[in-house]
Structure 1
């Protein structure tokens, strides 16, 4: 392995970043033609079954947190893949804790490991590992179905130098979750703008309850919420000279010290800790990824719900996603591509919506009324999209370094170790050095 890859991956380990075509239906044949067509179809199916399963009996490993979250649905996916391709999928549970996932997958790929054929990655890791040369192109998988996926996601995340490297599996946003009972007990309406949001946060903060809950620990959680608040104020996360970016960080600081609507524990809490506090009724509002609804189980809808993004300078929030990728060092590349083809198909995508994050990369699946009926949370994707609330995270091949440097500067400010001016200067200097500007 080249020095560049060794350097990149050794940095990654210490960084701990976060976070098919469906043809038109044909008319049904009638009479003798129907019987004839039925016989022909059966013969063709027999021939197709043999030719469509050239890798029958092969085993393909998939390293994924999806199995960790929902083993039952993962088992359904494994069964469907084997029925379609004859390939046995071996799901290997990946940590749900993001820093642990980053560490383990980076060590494996940087050492040339082939124990994982397919790896489930977010767009940050995808971008980094593409640049490092760790991922195998899968254009033959995505070209036939590309029209079903978001063009912007394909261009910004899946593609590099005209080649596809990922199958988009989820379309995830950071949604505003609220505690229905806390709002009702306080006689508050859901906020629609900055003033209403701050007023609600203040009035909900009492008796050990905080109006706004956060997960601001280093390793991606702070990175996400900082970008989200930057977007809310109309700032640019990669430009810390922007006064709107500065205003966003000032607001986060105010949550802690001026308004005291966010617990100091947020500075060290992971997503798991924040989620549990929300479920326990300790927080009135949190911005979190869609999977929180699955963690809440039957409490979502009854005790908690998602509301539109209140407008500060904008009503924007993060949209992101996770992808299935092919390990460059896989010994089962052709068989793995057959598995990825199923994952990219409508049948495969319809299984993915059953997992806790309850989304899919295939836009036709997300808009399918039957799917929305079966998985109600998907409706929020449409609502947020129609409101113009979704905005992707800034992507760069050095995104891991940007995350580490900016989180360090912002964490110091939010911990009251440095001033806001020092924070902005330190962050902007690091950004310029990393981007080479």
Structure 2
């Protein structure tokens, strides 16, 4: 069923994607900066660029589709601009240090020193030697100097500002921090959900279906179910379902609260067929929990318990994937996620908060899986480096991540194509 497109639903859906991605990437960004790593770019979204600005050392970019993002750290990938001996460049020297290196349009750099590069080290010694009119001149390079080429400016990355220069622990924290922020967000939302939804204390009847055993027995909407066959119900709706499922054709004694009094009602469940053709045993009622406000301890405890139950459910889903116990229709891409998000956003704030917590937790767990190109795989490589005492060959690691990324993209294309077909099928 296609969700109703409402301005509120659209805004809340886009906002959720934006928040989940931003807090994930902010985790990488914050702990990379704490470790002293130069972060070149903090980007949210894919597709056409909406906004981009430079603040300090980092370029911040917002793109049209908030379905992902990245934090580009110096040293993770080969630098796109390199200076080689024999190359003619111009340098802007101020205070006995090179502040800018110009690689093109040299004739326009009137106030810069121009010469042929004899030697240059932009990582460790931070020096450059130029042949200036037949004389070798050596200059110190500012650690925050910029390189200008093809009308683009990029800050250099000395070795102590690069990702690879940091300890295994610092690098691992910069990688793990993304999923960690999603876990923290999920926990906060689950706790918030517990406080907003309250603590269930009883189960009440909110609907009695026509021509069903409950209506025939005299059960009414608003009745509070106190006990069934002598068993106290409390807030456990699953106990009602269990007792009814074992009582097809057998009279059951229901004690309900109505207008401050206890009323005894005898109901005989009957077997019927649901919309999917399955045999089910029903009495024909809809139920809802009656709640009270949660204490601080109850809110935190319930939030933790809900998060644990959600984690178990997510891992059970991954287990089915590993065992092949699924069809393509069981999988969903961004379109399916957006569809469900819009449905729950339209349904109410409680549903929306619960779903946001689930998505944040799922994003964290999925990213921690040891799948190439994901954070979990990168942590595996860092763990191997810690054990071996030396890093894995960067070329081999890059190849593994490239293959993993390609496989994930193929899966994404497949599930998105299936989502589009499903939308057309209605």
TM-score (norm 2): 0.21
Please state which structure has a larger fraction of its residues in helix: 1
Greater RCO structure (CA 8 Å; 6+ sep): 1
Pair member with larger Rg: 2
How high is the TM-score relative to the length of structure 1? 0.20
